[in-house]
Amino acid sequence: WAIVCQTLTSADQLSSVYFKHSYEDWLENNGLSISPFHIRWQTAVFNRAFYSWGRRKARILYQWFNFGMVFGVIAMFSSFFLLGKTLIQTLGQMMADSSYSSSSSHSSSSSSSSSSSSSSSSSLHNEQVLQVVVPGINLPVNQLTYFFAAVLISGVVHEIGHGIAAIREQVRFNGFGIFLFIIYPGAFVDLFTTHLQLISPVQQLRIFCAGIWHNFILALLGILALILLPVILLPFYYTGVGVLITEVAEDSPAIGPRGLFVGDLVTHLQDCPVTNVQDWNECLDTITYEPQIGYCISASTLQQLSFPVRAYKRLDGSTECCNNHSLTDVCFSYRNNFNKRLHTCLPARKAVEATQVCRTNKDCKKSSSSSFCIIPSLETHTRLIKVKHPPQIDMLYVGHPLHLHYTETQYTPCINFVCLITFQNLSQTSWSAKTSGSDRIPAELFQILKDDATILGGSKNHCK
């Protein structure tokens, strides 16, 4: 895009040299202005509409912009509080990240404190009131169209507020326009500065606050539309039964015979029920920040599946007892009847399928007195997650939970021919989790345990 902008600028400069008068006249007649990385267009075509809106229902508009003025003043002082709180949270997050980085450089004895620091850092990040949006980092590239469309719409509504308020206060309105600065779209209104300076401060305040007031109303309408969306889509979609997968990346480790496919309806993550997108995110957060959950297994099954192993410590202090190259087996830990911690290597699918979840052996005694709670012995940030998507067999995922974020929606079509893509971005979450430094997860752990083998994904693989 920078090349396109520079090309337009160069063409503009060449045209101004060789066709100076005719070219400048053409730009002026069409309201165009071109400068490096900036294109602007202004027109008086909408002046009649603005004057019509600004002179209609004068008393109602007077009260309307009075409300806007009060809201603008309150919002201005509130912004100081929000910015201050965001600054404190950002500094706290930076300190937590620094503490986590230093603790992760210690030996395996510091793994628990490292995990605690990581959790607190992530918690601080999630609690931030204001979030910086960086395309390609925390805003997926495939959503840029929606993002910039929203920016342009909010900018137009903002400037319409300024324009109508100015006309209401008898300020001459010269025109309306839009601009493009590099890739950022926006809008503006051209007001007669002399008139603006002659009116009272209260009148000026009504004009200045009208833009943010209109943006606030637009946000309320957007929230209302989201709340009413299930009702609006009721003839075509139903909700509350799970989340529907609408997209899976081609390089995702979840692709395979027992992975997730477009159209799959996920109902549970581990023992956490999923009925909508909010449940999906909350379940993943719970799985991420709580210890790995275990699975009940009978003593006879444990004896049948297990075999002698040699356990050893990983760099982070966790225990491994399976062959590094195994595509089906996972190391599990459990306590025997003498409360001694043991480790055994088991075929993951046979060990966890059709079993209840647990934290200790006591949770398993309710169903059978001769059962043990086996807990996957994985690296600090890695989890084994059982994803239920009936009628297909459960998907077993080993990796960082954040990499299990997909493009999903809570709207399930009532009829088969209803297009999923149309609503794939309604109430969805699309993440691209990054790993770096001590958060990096070994490639062999990005696995989906399906059939009797797994598909390995690199450390940069993620699920959309």
* pLDDT tens string 277-297: 888 888 988 888 888 999 998
Give the lowest-confidence range in 3-7, 151-155, 240-244, 326-330. 3-7
Mean pLDDT, rounded, of the chain: 76
pTM of the full predicted structure? 0.60
Is 28 annotated in the active site? no
The b/e string for 187-199 (b: 16+ C-beta within 10 A; e otherwise) is bbbbbeeeebeee
Please identify which of the residues 159, 320, 379, 408 carries the catalytic annotation.
Answer: 159
Q: Residue 425: pLDDT band by 50, 70, 90 thresholds?
A: very low
Which of residues 373 and 440 earns the better pLDDT score? Answer: 373
Q: Residue 392: pLDDT band by 50, 70, 90 thresholds?
A: confident
pLDDT of 19 reads 56
Residues 6+ apart with CB under 8 A from 373: 294, 295, 296, 334, 335, 358, 359, 360, 361, 363, 364
Both tokens assigned to 42: 């202004």
Give the lowest-confidence range in 1-10, 49-58, 92-101. 1-10
pLDDT of 464 reads 32
pLDDT of 423 reads 43
The pLDDT > 70 percentage for the chain reads 71
Q: Ranked by mean pLDDT, which of 172-181, 259-268, 405-414 comes out on top?
A: 172-181
Helix, strand, or coil here: 332?
Answer: strand
- Cβ-contact 131, 138 below 8 angstroms: yes
Count Cβ atoms below 10 Å from residue 235 Cβ, excluding itself.
10
pLDDT of 365 reads 78
